Amino acid sequence: MDASLPPLTASTLYLVATPIGNLEDITLRALRVLRECDVVAAEDTRRSGQLLKHFQISKPLLSYFQFNEAKRSEEIIERLRRGEKIALVTDAGSPGISDPGERVVKAAIAEGFRVESIPGACALIAGLTASGLPTDEFHFVGFLPHKSGQRKNKLESLKTIEGTLVFYESPYRIEKLLGELNEVFPDSEIVLARELTKKFEEFLRGKAANLLEIAKKRSLKGEFVVLVSK
């Protein structure tokens, strides 16, 4: 530990951003928090365990994901009461952004505990800033619902929203999303950002119909940030 840096604060929940692809996405501050915390609450302990191992960090891991949020939140709050310093991480990016974390943050604040964000890589910002689309005003949607009717209704409701729309989408539903965007926003400029910060990072730009043709001809892998300029 650098003696010039302040130690971590007891009874604090640290929200640590982790790499979205390239391991060099990690910040020096994030590494220090992971080294000095008492426990790491992770969305996927195996994946986070590999990240810690890569940086030669050994810490107890606590599984924390969508379907055990309520139970784990109670345990995390109890640990904070005991004065522990807890780092919360997700599989990639910032906790709470289309990932678990929101519930425990609310619980910690409600109980009067300190919550500190350790910023870093975020697919939303990485995709938006390199998209070439307007960045002065944007609306983050995240993942659309899985059911077709709900997806269509959500897209229709976004017609009146100002600024660039930003979605997250999996490779398994990217064709479905492009088809829906072609119906609702046929004249909009769209950017598909995939494999962000990884070796095969790629930005595909065009109207929904053009991108849909590309998606049908190619096997587009990786997680997507989908941007729509209306």
**Rounded distance between C-alpha atoms, residue 5 and residue 122, angstroms:** 25
pTM of the full structure? 0.91
Identify the three-state secondary structure at position 157.
helix
Dist. CA 70–CA 75, nearest whole Å = 9
27 CB burial (10 A radius; 0-12, 13-18, 19+): middle
- Give the chain's mean pLDDT: 94
Higher pLDDT, 102 or 29: 29
**Max intra-chain CA distance, the chain:** 58
Residues shown for the chain = 230
User: 């929203």: which residue's tokens?
Assistant: 161
Q: Could you identify the residue written with the tokens 């996405």? A: 25
Checking if the pLDDT of 131 tops 80, the result is: yes
What 3-state DSSP class applies to 90?
coil
**pLDDT surpassing 80 at residue 66:** no
- For residue 55, the Cα-to-chain-centroid distance in whole angstroms is 21
pLDDT of residue 2: 62
- In the chain, the domains with their CATH numbers are 12-118 (3.40.1010.10), 123-229 (3.30.950.10)
